[in-house]
Amino acid sequence: MALHIGDVAPDFTQESTIGPLNFHEWIGDSWVVLYSHPADYTPVCTTELGLTAKLADEFKKRNVKVAALSVDDTESHKGWINDINETQGCQVNFPIIADADRKVSELYDMIHPGASETVTVRSVYFIDPNKKIRAVITYPPSTGRNFDEILRVIDSLQLTDDYSVATPVNWKDGDECVIIPSLKDPEVLKEKFPKGYKEIKPYLRMTPQPNK
């Protein structure tokens, strides 16, 4: 099943390190980052999960819940968490889904046979409070994720939901934004962007980040 941006994230109930997890119910009114791991006790994943735990406050202030997934069972996950806490100097404080039957992996197209028939690639799904998929990033099993980029994507999605802007190349929170091209009325522009803007081309107008 191929999932696309704008699709409703498939619901599921699966075992996890916090007990049975009904995905849509667990999401509630939060944003969610759902991301997959090739297997337990793998080195790259150990570093990723450790950093996720350390970034708990960053996710919380963005109203984001995080759920990880691996194709091993809950008991294996719990043993692995002990290793993660020990080696990464953290306390894993988010659920790891036990996808031993690969139900969720198949539902979210996380197994790419060209990479491996048995383990998931490193997929990241960004899901909003309406349960819609807003962005997807996929890495091969050998490449660790960039969590600065994960936070940057969340910041961009939340900003552009609330204001008539898009975020340009290499944007990060606090940088100038692009005014969307469909907004042309001078009075509306003045009202929406009281800090002003500079017009480089009629379609390329830069403005200070509206919520800063």
Q: What is the phi/psi pair of residue 138, to 5°? A: -130, 130
Which residue(s) pair with 166 in the sheet? 178
| Residue 150: inside a domain | no
Is the dihedral angle over the CA atoms 141, 146, 151, 153 positive or is it negative? negative
Give the pLDDT mean for 127-153. Answer: 94
Identify whether residues 107 and 176 lie together within a single domain.
no
Angle at 152 between CA 149 and CA 154, to 5 degrees: 115
What is the value of pTM for the model shown?
0.92
Q: Which residues are catalytic?
A: 45
Q: What percent of the chain has pLDDT over 70?
A: 95
Identify whether residues 105 and 196 lie together within a single domain.
no
pLDDT bucket at 110, cuts 50 / 70 / 90: confident
Statement: residue 113 has pLDDT above 70: no
Statement: residue 111 has pLDDT above 80: no
Domain containing 197: what range? 163-207
Statement: residue 94 has pLDDT above 60: yes
| Residue 4: inside a domain | no
Identify whether residues 141 and 183 lie together within a single domain.
no
Q: What is the pLDDT of residue 2?
A: 80
Statement: residue 7 has pLDDT above 50: yes
Identify whether residues 66 and 110 lie together within a single domain.
yes
